[in-house]
């Protein structure tokens, strides 16, 4: 009987110990869950070579809808006379992708000047120039092309890109352009790949962190930036003809358009008929001035990737400048790849632009269509 009691007692003790042990070994799922990695702390993945571009199906131009998102109020500021003449900080020019898989982009809303031009297969690409505002997230960042390198050099910036065409890389060296190749410059705080998009449409950067790199790297210092072809003025050159809407349709069907909002004095931007929104703020991008520049553009003979070239040597052509709901007809001239573009009225006077964000739409002479009213 005593043995039976001892056996029962021993069994109960063992069961009690097992229960206590089981309770003590448990932990909260939240405590062991990994902390989400912010872009600023992400590490840069191994660079991947620039892939062969894929052709995008043509998009039938659609009528511009009425704007719904609120325009960006910070582009309405008046700049001081000193800042109108020369930038208060070194310009940073960043190549930004506009493939459908890269939309919506981040950070364009904070740029001072943005160029848009077709690249391979008519897929457009941006170059955003940052001076007055910083952007914690900019991208997706893509590769250099010769005509963008030439336009970038006009501002004497630090040029940021992710690789580039052989011709583009050669021109960077030829012009002595200070630059950062985000695929080769290891700086995980300044450049990273997001995990919610596939490469190559997921490389991002931060102008704030890029400026820190510039401050530490003597190879990126020693030059003073300029506003290049841009002449800011609080008394801009305004045309007399109505220019409340403008749309540019490339041969492949891609369409970029702007619609003037008299309440803000800005042109709301659209892509293929939809408001062009900033990914981070969800706000519609808006310009104080839009320059539509017609150029000679052609595909490089024998280039397997369908890369293009623009005539920028002793080159000239017409421009349309949209400001305050009006359009001004003028001209542009560029003596060589290392010279600054001149934007002038037809009688040769420099065109002065309203302070804010300026868009420069590069339009091939052949196959493109410009509509405005």
pLDDT value for 23: 36
Please identify every stretch of the chain with a pLDDT value under 50, giving residue numbers as ranges: 1-76
- Residues 232/132, Cβ–Cβ less than 8 Å: no
In this structure, the number of other CB atoms found within 10 A of the CB of residue 17 comes to 10
CA angle centred on 14, ends 9 and 19, rounded to 5°: 125
pLDDT value for 121: 83
Q: What secondary structure letter does DSSP report for 14?
A: H
- Residues 267/322, Cβ–Cβ less than 8 Å: yes
Q: Which residues contact 238 (CB under 8 A, 6 or more apart)?
A: 323, 324, 326, 328
Contacts 24+ apart (CB under 8 A), 326-332: 326/238, 326/239, 326/240, 326/241, 326/242, 326/243, 327/239, 327/241, 327/242, 327/243, 327/246, 327/372, 328/237, 328/238, 328/239, 328/240, 328/241, 328/243, 329/239, 329/241, 332/293
Whether 20 is in a domain gets the answer no
In this structure, the number of other CB atoms found within 10 A of the CB of residue 42 comes to 16
pLDDT value for 24: 37
Whether 53 is in a domain gets the answer no
Whether 74 is in a domain gets the answer no
Which CATH number is 121's domain given?
A: 3.50.90.10
Whether 29 is in a domain gets the answer no
How far apart, in Å, are the Cα atoms of 87 and each of 57, 79, 112, 143? Answer: 40, 11, 10, 25
Whether 36 is in a domain gets the answer no
Q: What secondary structure letter does DSSP report for 44?
A: P
Distance CA 108, CA 123 (A): 17
pTM listed for this prediction: 0.80
pLDDT value for 364: 95
- Residues 252/121, Cβ–Cβ less than 8 Å: yes
Whether 252 is in a domain gets the answer yes
pLDDT value for 214: 96
pLDDT value for 71: 41
Q: What's the structural domain count of the chain?
A: 1
Element (H, E) at 168: helix 166-175
Pairing of strands 289-295, 315-323: antiparallel
- Residues 286/108, Cβ–Cβ less than 8 Å: no
Whether 51 is in a domain gets the answer no
Distance CA 47, CA 325 (A): 45
Whether 154 is in a domain gets the answer yes
For residue 355, count CB atoms less than 10 angstroms from its CB and return exposed for 0-12, middle for 13-18, buried for 19 or more: buried
| Structural domain of 269 | 79-372
CA angle centred on 55, ends 52 and 58, rounded to 5°: 165
């Amino acid at each position: 009987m005593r043995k039976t009691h001892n056996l029962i007692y021993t069994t109960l003790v063992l069961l009690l110990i097992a229960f206590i042990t089981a309770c003590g070994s448990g932990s909260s799922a939240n405590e062991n869950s990994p902390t989400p990695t912010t872009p600023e702390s992400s590490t840069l993945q191994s660079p991947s070579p620039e892939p062969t571009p894929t052709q995008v199906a043509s998009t039938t131009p659609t009528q511009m809808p009425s704007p719904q998102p609120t325009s960006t109020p910070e582009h309405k500021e008046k700049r001081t006379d000193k800042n109108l003449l020369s930038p208060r900080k070194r310009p940073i020019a960043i190549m930004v992708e506009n493939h459908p898989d890269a939309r919506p982009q981040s950070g364009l809303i904070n740029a001072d000047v943005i160029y848009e031009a077709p690249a391979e297969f008519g897929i457009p690409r941006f170059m955003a120039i940052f001076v007055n505002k910083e952007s914690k997230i900019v991208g997706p960042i893509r590769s250099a092309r010769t005509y963008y390198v030439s336009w970038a050099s006009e501002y004497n910036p630090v040029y940021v890109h992710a690789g580039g065409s052989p011709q583009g890389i050669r021109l960077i060296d030829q012009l002595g352009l200070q630059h950062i190749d985000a695929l080769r410059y290891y700086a995980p705080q300044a450049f990273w790949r997001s995990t919610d998009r596939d490469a190559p449409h997921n490389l991002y950067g931060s102008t704030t962190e890029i400026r820190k790199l510039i401050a530490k790297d003597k190879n990126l210092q020693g030059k003073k930036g300029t506003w290049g072809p841009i002449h800011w003025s609080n008394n801009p050159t305004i045309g007399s003809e109505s220019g409340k809407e403008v749309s540019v349709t490339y041969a492949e069907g891609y369409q970029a358009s702007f619609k003037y909002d008299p309440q803000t004095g800005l042109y709301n931007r659209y892509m293929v008929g939809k408001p062009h929104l900033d990914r981070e703020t969800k706000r519609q991008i808006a310009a104080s001035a839009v320059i539509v520049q017609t150029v000679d553009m052609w595909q490089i003979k024998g280039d397997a990737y369908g890369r293009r070239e623009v005539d920028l040597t002793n080159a000239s052509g017409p421009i349309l400048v949209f400001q305050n709901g009006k359009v001004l007809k003028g001209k542009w001239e560029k003596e060589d790849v290392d010279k600054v573009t001149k934007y002038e009225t037809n009688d040769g006077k420099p065109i002065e632009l309203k302070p804010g964000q300026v868009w420069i739409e590069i339009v091939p002479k052949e196959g493109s269509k410009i509509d405005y009213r």
